[in-house]
Amino acid sequence: MARILVVEDEAHIAEGLQFNLEAEGHQVELATDGRRAVEVLTGSDESFDLVLLDLMLPEMNGFEVARRTRAAGIYVPILILTAKDDSADLIRGLEEGADDYLTKPFRLDELLARVKGLLRRRRWTQARGDKDVPREVSFGDVCVHLDRFEITTPKETVRLTTREMALLRALIEREGEAVTRGELLEEVWGLRADTKTRVVDSFVVRLRRYIEADPSRPRHIVSVRGHGYRLVR
Ligand code: CA
């Protein structure tokens, strides 16, 4: 069972999502405008396992909800529901920190599969064929647990979102090599390598906050000018 926040202003869609997610055994809370969603996500001490986020919302749009949620240091998986197949929208959503997206109208089984995928934190080696990647990788006193999507530091345990883990994993698999933004876009987000977006860079900023002693002077996820990033242990 997971706690899921559904942010959707169209009552029939919101209620349909709630009904079907509850039928799967989840606990569902609804927010019908963007401002309320941010309040629920950042204000209380109840935490959610997943957010389904509509983009066109009263009070505050879904991009802003995602941005404020991440800015508050909350890295719950976010699945964006976009009204149309608008690639500019979905890319902006990913840049603001969303993990996945689904285009309306969507099929119920497709939605439930996405939800399951975002809630599941299984070993990537099972999902992707056994590359020779260890289950744990350390950077000084910071340890990345690839099998359970966590980073432990002397101060805290951080749960990574699926995209954060996929990005970090892609860099770890090619430790020491410069990996291009285009390669990362294809491998981690399934986007074309020439997509114009800052999504890779914004996720690197997030990862640096977890693993770098001084994120403004990174020693482990190093920028390679005009190219991409290189992971150094
Ligand atoms: Ca809407």
pLDDT digit string, tens, across residues 166-225: 999 999 999 999 999 999 999 998 888 998 888 999 899 989 999 999 999 999 999 999
Instruction: Tell how far the Cα of 115 is from the centroid of ligand 1, in angstroms.
Output: 19
Q: In this structure, are residues 204 and 221 in contact, taking their beta carbons and an 8 Å threshold?
A: yes
Q: How far apart are CA 187 and CA 57, in angstroms?
A: 31
Q: How far apart are CA 200 and CA 11, in angstroms?
A: 35
Domain boundaries, the chain: 3-119, 124-231
pLDDT digit string, tens, across residues 2-61: 999 999 999 999 999 999 999 999 999 999 999 999 999 998 667 898 999 999 999 999
Instruction: Tell how far the Cα of 210 is from the centroid of ligand 1, in angstroms.
Output: 33
Residue 136: in which H helix or E strand, if any? Answer: strand 136-139
Q: What is the fold of 3-119? A: Rossmann fold (3.40.50)
pLDDT digit string, tens, across residues 64-102: 999 999 888 787 889 999 876 677 888 888 888 888 888
Please give the CATH number for the structural domain made up of 124-231: 1.10.10.10
Enumerate residues with CB within 5 Å of ligand 1 (an ion). 9, 54, 56
